[in-house]
Every structure is written in structure tokens, then in C-alpha cells.
Amino acid sequence: MPKITLKGVTVDFPFQPYKCQEEYMSKVLECLQEKVNGILESPTGTGKT
């Protein structure tokens, strides 16, 4: 299982994530760390399933 570090947090991921997935996770972590709301979307073909 690959481990990636984003914004100082190590994330276990079941496979090598796409760049757009890393960007999405990074934005989620940014919102959580800054305690702000975030509105995110992920279009078709970005590996949601």
C-alpha cells in the first residue's frame, strides 16, 4: 500500500494515486487544518470508485 505525505500528513492509499487525487486530498487537508469549509468537486474519470 503506497504511503504519500501531503501537508505534513501521511496517507495510506490502496494504490498509486492520480495527480488529481493528490490535489483533492491536499485541498481537503488544507480545509481541515485551517478549520474552514471547502467545496470540492471531482469530475468523471478521476478515480472516485
pLDDT tens track for 1-49: 889 999 999 999 899 999 999 999 999 999 999 999 999 999 898 888 7
| Residue whose entry in the numeric block shows the C-alpha cell 504519500 | 4
Identify the burial level of 6 via C-beta atoms within 10 angstroms of its C-beta, where 0-12 means exposed, 13-18 middle and 19 or more buried.
middle
Neighbours of 31 (CB within 10 A): 14
Delimit the domains of the chain by residue range.
Answer: 3-34
Global pTM value: 0.82
Residues 6+ apart with CB under 8 A from 23: none
Amino acid identity, residue 37?
N
Give the separation between CA 32 and CA 49, rounded to whole angstroms: 23
- What is the residue-averaged pLDDT of the chain? 92
